[in-house]
A and B are shown apart, each in its own frame.
Chain A
Amino acid sequence: MRTSFGERMLDLVVTGFLWGIRIAILLAIVIGTIVTVSKGHYTSEQWIGFVVFGVAQGAIYALIALGYTMVYGILRMINFAHGDIFMTGAFGAYFVATWLNTIGFVDRNPFLGLLIPVLFAMILAAAIAMLVERIAYRPLRNAPRLVPLISAIGASFFLEYAFRGFFGPGKYAYPPIKALDGGWTIFNVEIQKVQVLVVAAAAIMMAILYFIVMYTKVGKAMRAVSESQDTAALMGIDVNRIIVSTFALGAAMAGAAGVLFSLVYRQIDFFMGFTPGIKAFTAAVLGGIGNIPGAMVGGLVLGVFESIGPSLFLEGLGIPRPYQLKDVIAYTMLVMILLFRPSGILGERLSKKKA
């Protein structure tokens, strides 16, 4: 194929520009890191503290990211309402937890007092996700791919403003749980109890999910449907039922993540799903969308980067309030991944498939 001189020049300019971005960002990170480390503002205990915070945050992102990645794997569609499913879980848990708190149940039995709101959040989130699938996505199953995407954004707004309509725009304080106050100091590193709980709970949830997908009949059917809906139907698999189960499973994880998020930040509102939703989407893309272990890895990597990034390289670059730019790191990572490695960290799957 012959290309004109102009086209070749344009190609060269674009490639050069992309390499320029790569080098500039890499340089910024390296220089910033060197300056910060040479100044020695932070002790090594503080750095470990940042990492611990990042892991806890990343575990929440990972839990949400699983829903994005599973739905993408099975329908090749980004469920942009997923962040709001996370919010509905948090709201459900808030009402149950508040009620349990007023009757004094949480103080008497902290374990169940935590577990019951989580279970309720998971069920509520799954139910809402199933409704959204039925109403907003299933009728558009055979439409061009942009159509369900727009419908998903509509569903996202619908959920946000329905909750705003019901519960108002204000913030609600998630009831404090005394058993989770304080923390431990291990080798001078302070670790809060709630961080341990978040990481442990997320790990358990992910292990359960991994077991379901790999070893149960419905999990194997999910993997079969994600390869070919027609062939799966020829096995007698009810494809619609499997798709609904996928939505429900992903939403249950997001619902649980909503509770963990509320335990850390202690407050919820109708818009709380937006930023974590996009962050988790970033995590899913980072790990390789459609890839379940990828979502877990992507979540953790994003959480840690976001947590140490501001002090590690933004501060070194002389940026006045680096913490305010923590979201910029996440979104820069999203753009970088899409530009330079669209298949993500673990995602060879996407390139192999015709998708």
Chain B
Amino acid sequence: MSMLTINNVHTYYGNIHALRGINLTIEQGEIVTLIGGNGAGKTTTLRTISGLLKPREGSVTFEGENLAKYKAHELVYKGISMVPEGRGVFSSLSVTENLEMGSFILKDQKEAEKNMEHVFTLFPRLKERRNQLAGTLSGGEQQMLATGRALMANPRLVLMDEPSMGLAPVLVELIFDIIQQINKEGVTVLLVEQNALMALSIAHRGYVLQTGEIIISDSADKLKNDPAVQKAYLGME
């Protein structure tokens, strides 16, 4: 049984038909990437999985359970965390407070502290800035914070929405190294990216999304060598 199964999902924004029958599966322990251009529906897919949007048709199943009956905040308890588009840190809260919000669902204070220590070992920079307001951090630091915050709730599946957006190449590499590291620690990752080359270099499998439909799905290596993908998303002729 797959960890996450998206079956024929149609999602609308008002009257806009944003997702037109998407099928996608994620196996436990994978890094799966969803690539595609602007407006292809990548963020909509993540928002549908995380419960912020409800599909009008089709189903999202996580560990054998249909998610339709859950609200967004209840899905965190199921083990799904999200790093939202544009980082979405709480800018008037300090770094520590942001991380505490990440572990909001944990009853055990000790566990939350342990997780925070873990985040600080992944991102020592955050520890240095822990009392600073998140709004005063640089873009890279905010991305670290958003990523660390998603890990605070002990997720089994992390949804990442364009973590490379607006970051210098060296920071993108740092973030992607961390994604691989948390994946090795047993967290499954769904990575949405416009930076297709980077995404395919760490993912096991990939899906290509175009105007609300999945047009190709294959292993990451095959996608990297697919002439159509190379032309459209990897900037190669």
Enumerate chain A interface residues (CB-CB to B < 8 A).
217, 220-221, 223-224, 227-228, 230-239, 349
With A217-B100, A221-B104, A236-B76 given, is the CB distance from A231 to B153 under 8 Å? no
- Chain B contact patch, size range: 20 to 34
Q: A220-B101, A223-B93 are in contact. Are A231 and B88 (CB under 8 A)?
A: yes
Residue A227 contacts which of B77, B91, B100 (CB distance < 8 angstroms)?
Answer: B91
Chain A nearest CB, measured from B106 CB (Å): 9
Pairs across A and B, CB under 8 Å, 26 listed: A217-B100, A220-B101, A221-B101, A221-B104, A223-B90, A223-B92, A223-B97, A224-B90, A224-B93, A224-B101, A227-B90, A228-B88, A228-B90, A230-B72, A230-B88, A231-B84, A232-B101, A234-B50, A234-B81, A235-B73, A235-B102, A235-B149, A236-B77, A237-B101, A237-B104, A239-B73
Q: Which residues of A contact B52 (CB under 8 A)?
A: 230, 233-234
Chain B residue with Cβ nearest A230 = B52
Bound state CA distance, A220 and B102, in angstroms? 11
Residue among B84, B92, B93, B153 with the most chain A CB within 10 A? B92
- The answer to whether the Cβ of B126 comes within 8 Å of any Cβ in the partner chain is no
Query: Bound state CA distance, A253 and B164, in angstroms?
Result: 45
B72's nearest neighbour on chain A, judged by CB, is A233
Number of cross-chain contacts by CB at 8 Å: 66
Q: Taking the nearest CB of chain A, how far is it from the CB of B103, in angstroms?
A: 9
Cβ–Cβ < 8 Å partners of B50 in chain A: 234
Cross-chain contact A234 with B104 (CB below 8 angstroms): no
Q: What 1/0 flags go to B83-111 for Cβ under 8 Å of A?
A: 01000101111000100111011000000
Known pairs A235-B153, A236-B76. 7 more at Cβ < 8 A? A220-B100, A221-B104, A234-B50, A234-B52, A234-B81, A235-B105, A237-B104
Q: Are B77 and A234 in contact (CB under 8 A)?
A: no
A234 touches B90 (CB 8 A): no
Is B222 on the interface with A (CB-CB < 8 A)?
no
Residue of A nearest to B88 (CB): A231
Name the distance in Å between B12's Cβ and chain A's nearest Cβ.
Answer: 15
Closest to B71 in A: A233
In the assembled complex, how far is the CB of residue B148 from the closest CB belonging to chain A, in whole angstroms? Answer: 13
With the chains together, A88 CA to B129 CA distance in Å? 46
What residues of A have a CB within 8 angstroms of the CB of B73 in the complex? Answer: 232-239
The 0/1 profile, CB within 8 Å of A marked 1, for residues 52-84 of chain B is 100000000000000000011110110001101
Whole-angstrom CA separation of A241 from B81 in the bound complex: 20
Is A230 within 8 A of B97, CB to CB? no
Quick check: B93 and A236 within 8 Å, CB to CB?
no
Specify which of A228, A230, A235 is in contact with B104 (CB 8 Å cutoff): A235
A230 to chain B, nearest CB (A): 6
